Amino acid sequence: MLLDLKIKVQAFVVHLGLSLALGIVAALLVFGLWFPFPYREVAGGWDLFILVMVVDVCCGPLLTFVVFSKKKPKAELVRDLGFIAFIQLAALCYGVYAVSVSRPVFLVFEVDRFRVVSVADIEVADLHQAPKELQGLSMTGPKIISARVPKSGDKDFVRAVELAMSGVEVSFQPKYWLPYLDKREEVLQKVKSIAELKQKNPNKNQIIVDALAKTALSEVDLGYLPLQGRVHSDWVVFVELRSLGVVGFANVDGF
């Protein structure tokens, strides 16, 4: 009895180690490439992955502990362990797939803010309407682009307003995408001073100072714009005023 329990524990530990190794590889993919800081907080969509991973890592080894026995015929044991491995890998693949369609692929300058756009926000069949260089969906974090907003009198203005009211922003529509610096003048007009950000958030000045320090740039060389995400909108993007490059983020309200 004790020998059988010892063997079960050994099988459990081996399976747990393999599960953790696979989980770490998957987590590096998700959080290292698809959801770099701060997108895992702003964009959301990775919660399901965490749930699946926790269940996957725990349940697989536990099932192995239950079914593993040296008394079983080898063919039966291989069948049982193979079935557990199949279910576990299927759950892992589902979790990775689910988070892949929620991954942020564009950071879009839109009117007076940056908006995070995920795969799920985009009608993939419409990608051909975007400029050729923007038709791909990044697998290594969001590309920075801008969006053209139809003006009153444009033939697509009314339709754009209707779609926006139903939750489909212009940033989600490939036909409105532009290279980021095509909107350089608008970015310069809309970017706000760091002093203004501090004034708006007197209780979060230390958060701002710490985030600015990570940019290694002087406060006078930077501005900010609000960051609109699927889940949170209480973030800002720091922009280097000369190049207009995105150089940092802070968890403070920019609106």
Q: What type of residue sits at position 207? A: I
Domain of residue 28 covers: 2-100
Instruction: For residues 77 and 142, state if they share a domain.
Output: no
Residue 2 confidence (pLDDT): 63
On the question of pLDDT at 115 being above 80, the answer is yes
Please name the residues in contact with 97: beta carbons below 8 A apart, sequence gap of 6 or more: none
Backbone angles phi, psi at 238, to 5 degrees: -90, 130
Under 8 Å between Cβ of 183 and 109: yes
Distance CA 4, CA 34 (A): 43
Residue 160 confidence (pLDDT): 81
Integer angstrom CA distances of residue 193 from 95, 196, 203, 214:
41, 5, 17, 17
Q: pLDDT digit string (tens) for 46-63?
A: 777 787 788 788 888 999
Instruction: For residues 145 and 226, state if they share a domain.
Output: no
Instruction: For residues 69 and 14, state if they share a domain.
Output: yes
Question: Looking at the chain, which runs of residues are DSSP E strands?
Answer: 104-110, 113-118, 143-147, 177-179, 192-193, 222-228, 235-240, 246-250
Last residue of a domain, which of 125, 153, 182? 182
In terms of pLDDT, which residue wins out, 155 or 62?
Answer: 62
Q: For the chain, what is the domain count? A: 3
- What is the pLDDT averaged over residues 175-183? 96
Last residue of a domain, which of 57, 75, 100? 100
Last residue of a domain, which of 182, 209, 226? 182
Residue 1 confidence (pLDDT): 57
Question: 118 is written with which tokens?
Answer: 């995920």
What band does 168 get if pLDDT is binned at 50, 70 and 90?
A: confident
Residue 3 confidence (pLDDT): 62
Instruction: For residues 65 and 155, state if they share a domain.
Output: no
Residue 152 confidence (pLDDT): 79
Instruction: For residues 11 and 59, state if they share a domain.
Output: yes
On the question of pLDDT at 209 being above 60, the answer is yes
Instruction: For residues 128 and 168, state if they share a domain.
Output: yes
Residue 121 confidence (pLDDT): 94
